[in-house]
Amino acid sequence: MSFSDSLPVTHSVPGPNGGELLFGIPCLEDNLAWGLADTDGGVLLVDVPEAAPVDRFLRENNLRLERVLITHGHRDHTGGLHALLRSHPADVWAHPRLGLKDATAIPADGGVFTWKDYEIRVMDTSGHSDCDTSFYLPGPALCFCGDTVFAGGCGRLFAGPPARMWASLLRLRALPDNTLLCVGHDYALENYRFGSRTFPDMPVFRETLKTVEAEADAGRIFAPVTVGGQSRSNPMLMADHPETAAALGMTGAPPEEIFAEIRSRRSAG
């Protein structure tokens, strides 16, 4: 079974008018297009890796696309946008530096805008690309974080020194523990295998790997994940933990250097 045949992630979250639907649609090799459907059937969508699976999900669930947010400019997050808009017209909001045609500019870092009754806070979480935005919705406690953080890992460092990404990860880690992180890719198996291998004396990675494997065997994607859970089980978010530093022989080193070491070991396989 290919990834795009996996079942969409669905999750009920509290909304202003009752239970609302959070969903994650598998696209391409391992991308997730996330959305929030309110009780009227209106949808806020985040990123469009490809149009067909999103179109199918909207039709099958009788949902109406209203707004699209874009986390960053990589093709695997925007490639389906224009095809989707042809069959599902909606307004697009994105960072002006992405240069997306007809898109409304989101506010700068720290700014707030709304979709219906939802407050959406803009967080600059760059470091994977030169312009990464995470969208935090404090009401339902959701954060759409693109390729900044993944279950058990984080995005590649395509823009700037590791300290830039480390600062972005710290901002996400500072969100309330119950916040659901809606991550842009499903790399959980590879990430927790890496964590188990790299930190054999820290049981949390092995234990989480067992859970991820059980979910995968049941055909389920290990997402969304919580800020609290990730702050205790994602090695990229644990660079300032004494145990992590000790395991790498880096006790006393600055956290951004420890983070850089973990990230480069992950890239090396």
Residues that bind Fe ion (CB under 5 A): 74, 76, 147
* 143/202 with CB nearer Fe ion: 143
Burial (CB < 10 A; 0-12, 13-18, 19+), residue 245, is: buried
The CA distances from residue 214 to 12, 159, 174, 177, 219, in Å, are: 22, 35, 29, 24, 9
Q: Tell me whether residue 147 or residue 261 sits nearer to Fe ion (CB atom).
A: 147
Nearer to Fe ion, 75 or 114 (CB): 75
Could you give the CA distance from residue 137 to residue 112 in angstroms, rounded to a whole number?
Answer: 10
Shortest distance in whole angstroms from residue 158 CB to Fe ion: 8
Tell me how crowded residue 16 is: count the other CB atoms within 10 A of its CB.
Answer: 12
DSSP annotation of 103 reads P
Closest contact distance (angstroms) between CB of 197 and Fe ion is 24
Residue bearing tokens 């065997």: 217
DSSP state, 253? S
Q: Which is nearer to Fe ion, 74 or 173 (CB)?
A: 74
Least Å distance between CB 28 and Fe ion? 9
Residue by residue, DSSP assigns 119-135 as: EEEEEE--SSSSS-EEE
Least distance between Fe ion and beta carbon 137 (Å): 21
**Sole residue written with tokens 């700037």:** 160
Task: Find the shortest distance in angstroms from Cβ 47 to Fe ion.
Answer: 8
Nearer to Fe ion, 160 or 228 (CB): 160
